[in-house]
Structure 1
Amino acid sequence: MLKHSPRHLTAGLLLTTCALHAHASEGGISSWPNGIEIYGMGILPPPGTYGQLFAGNYLADTLRDNSGDKAADIDLRVTTLAPRFVWVTEQKVFGGDLGFHALLPLNDMRLNVKNGPHDHKRGIGDAHLGPVIGFHPSEKLHIATGVDFVLPTASEYDEDDLINLGNNYYTVQAVLAMTYLDPDGLNADIRLMHDYNFENRATNYQSGRELHADYTLGWGLGNGWVLGVGGHAYQQISDDKCSASDCDAAALVDASGGNRGRSFSIGPAVQYSSKQGWMFSAKWQDESGVRNRAEGQTYWFKFTTAL
């Protein structure tokens, strides 16, 4: 989910309060809600304005450490509504259609640590916005590329709280998405992303660079329905850093090889495209191979329509 893991969830939950500041991409979270995209993620529609609504629910009961072992029993529940506005212009750039998008999540987060603290927050998360260029090499193959900017717009942030609605730092995300669409056959999508995270000035902590992808694979039934599977793959590719001389997290980052996070998920995915032009899709995904993060399950729903 957007900001779907608590910032302070670390092996330090079993050790000391100061240790809570280090746990993979600060708190084991990412700017992008891994696995949120479903079918059609590489298609930029014709010029016009479009609205999307993502709705999701994330449930986790385990925190994994750097070795993949259980670090803590938790009860983490996050519900997200994320409206997205898409504007595709008449302008051509490098032969493709120029568009812009903006997304602002609304989150309800609850965390209980077994035999430990608990927290609950509700409000606005961090905004995503940026330009995109769409290409259509053939009737079935579509490509979209762009840069997303994640802004620390969350309604509140406190470095001493157990969870927060946003990261409190900027992220620049390079994006390449591809879709192969056949209404009567193979459907395949992938959205590749590389994130560069800036320093959190409240904690002097800088999360490492991240490489991740959302994917779906399905079969079109010829009547608007697509059935298949989908999920995400995530790998942090550089170490976290803490620049302050008195940073409590620095020793933990060094000791655990940079606190690099990792996860993978897969589950059933379905989409329906109406003759009126609107689309609805849904996905359930179960996480595995998790390192330095919470491990759980996510339900995602996505509705798209022209405005």
Structure 2
Amino acid sequence: MKIRQLSIAVALAAAFVGNATAKEGGDQYPNGAENWLAGAVPPPGNYFLNYFGYYDAKLRDGDGDKVPGTSARAWFDALRFIKMTNTKILGGDWGMHLIVPLVSQDVKLGGPGASASGIGDITINPIIIAWHTPNLHWTVALDFNLPTGKYESGDPRKSIGTNYWSIEPIFAVTWLSDSGWELSGKFMYNIKRKNEDFRLAPGAPKMDYDSGDDFHMDYVAGKHFGPWAVGLSGYYLKQTTNDELEGETLAAVPGLWSRGRKGEVFAIGPSVSYTAKSGTMFIAQWQRETSAENRFRGDKAWFKLVLPF
């Protein structure tokens, strides 16, 4: 396979892994970030969350096979600030949050690799509403993802951001039994605007590229033992609309991508959490992407801190 052909394929696949934790294949959310108590938003107060980890992957084509000569490795650290207020909306607690991701990545796309570091795409959310009962907790929210990350048009190896805006409705729910069993899920739908500064290669004419919308979810199933919890966590993503270039659905290319280049990935792995008496929570987890099409597939290791002020 010619290097230029491979570079075009990967560029059309989404502009790479992007933002700190999260843009394997053009995502604007750190898939797998939320698991334990995902729907149980904390009570009124101020909170800091830190997501630190490492991602190592190879590009997969439309059949789920490896694309030779490709790799993506990234260290990430996402800083999240949450404020929950005493204000009630429809009986639920109202809050807001801000996420600032940092990333250092190395990418290889069939030829020489390239590195990039910096701030990724920032997320803001002015509306989080959370409800609570003794065993069931649920939350609705609306994220806005901003194109603040570095974007190198025509060279996805050097891009940290996606160069498009998006909006993301969210529903999260947690069931926690009296005996300590927990099931939690966070369900999201990412609605993307076009990237109007897309190039097939450096110096090529600008084109409009639409990465396609997607449904994705994080989950955990596990058991609490006093301050400890152990279980399985992961994520699933399914692209629901086709990628389009200049308004036309991408055609299939044998050995590279299927028509429309719809991405899909599933990940699962062990997760352990510990909650101190102060309310500080520590979470460590490893998530293996067991299947993927039209996007990167690999392993992700996380360490998460939840700190109430």
TM-score tier (shorter): 0.7 to 0.9
Cα distance, 1:296 vs structure 2: 0.4
Rounded to whole Å, the distance in 2 between the matches of 1:34 and 1:71 is 22
Partner in structure 1 of residue 12 of structure 2: 22
* Alpha-carbon distance between aligned partners in 2 of 1:75 and 1:90, rounded to the nearest angstrom: 47
Aligned partner of 1:122 in structure 2 is 117
Q: Determine if the alignment matches structure 1 residue 302 to structure 2 residue 296.
A: no
Give the TM-score of the pair, scaled to structure 2: 0.87
Matches within 5 A, 1:140-289: 140-154=135-149, 156-163=150-157, 164-182=159-177, 184-203=179-198, 204-221=208-225, 223-243=226-246, 250-251=250-251, 256-289=258-291
* Pairwise CA distance, 1:34: 1.1
Question: Deviation of residue 70 (structure 1)?
Answer: 1.9
Confirm or deny that 1:56 pairs with 2:53: yes
- Residue 120 of structure 2 is aligned to residue 93 of structure 1: no
Work out whether residues 42 and 143 of structure 1, in 8 Å CA contact, stay in contact via their aligned partners in 2: yes
- Contact 1:240-1:253 within 8 A present in 2 as well: no
Number of residue pairs matched by the alignment:
288
Task: Tell me which residue corresponds to 1:37.
Answer: 34
Q: What amino acid is aligned across from residue 22 of structure 1 in structure 2?
A: L
2:202 alignment counterpart: none
Q: Distance in 2 between matches of 1:231 and 1:20?
A: 25
Identity of aligned residues (%): 34
Q: Which amino acid aligns with 1:30?
A: D
Q: For 2:173 and 2:151, locate their aligned partners in 1 and report how far apart those are by CA, in whole Å.
A: 35
Question: How far apart are residue 71 of structure 1 and its match?
Answer: 1.8
- 2 CA distance for matches of 1:87 and 1:31? 22
| Superposition deviation, residue 67 in structure 1 | 1.3
Superposed displacement of residue 38, structure 1: 2.5
CA RMSD across the alignment: 2.1
Change (3 A) 1:26 1:152: same
SS in 1 for 2:67: strand
Deviations 1:130-151 (A, max 9, x none): 1210001x21211011110000
CA distance in 1, matches of 2:301, 2:89: 36
* Structure 1 residue 73 displacement after superposition: 3.6
1:269–1:252: structure 2 CA closer, same or farther, 3 Å change rule?
A: same
* Counterparts of 1:202 and 1:104, CA distance in 2: 23
Out of 43, 49, 56, the residue aligned to residue 46 of structure 1 is: 43
Q: What is the rounded CA distance, in whole Å, between the counterparts of 1:12 and 1:173 in structure 2?
A: 37
Task: State the Cα distance separating 1:294 from its structure 2 match.
Answer: 1.1
1:8 matched to which residue of 2?
none
Show structure 1 runs of 5+ residues with no match. 1-10
- Cα displacement string for residues 173-230 of structure 1 (whole angstroms, at most 9, x for unaligned residues): 0100011224742111100000101000102101111001000110111x21000110
Contact kept? 1:53, 1:304, Cα under 8 Å: yes
User: Using the alignment, how far apart are the partners of 1:276 and 1:165 within structure 2?
Assistant: 36
Secondary structure of the structure 2 residue equivalent to 1:169: coil
Residues 160 and 120 of structure 1, relative CA distance in 2, 3 Å threshold: same
Q: 1:184 to 1:275 in 2, by over 3 A?
A: farther
1:111-138 per-residue CA deviation (whole Å, 9 max, x = no partner) reads 1345x121100100000111210001x2
Q: What are structure 2's unaligned runs of at least 5 residues?
A: 17-24, 199-207
The 1-side partners of 2:28 and 2:179 are apart by 35
Q: In structure 2, what is the Cα distance between the partners aligned to 1:42 and 1:12? A: 47
> Helix, strand or coil for the counterpart of 1:275?
coil
C-alpha separation in 1, matches of 2:131 and 2:283: 23
2:197 aligned counterpart, secondary structure: coil
The structural deviation recorded for 1:236 is 0.3
Q: Distance in 1 between matches of 2:190 and 2:62?
A: 21
Which residue identity lines up with residue 135 of structure 1 in the other structure?
W
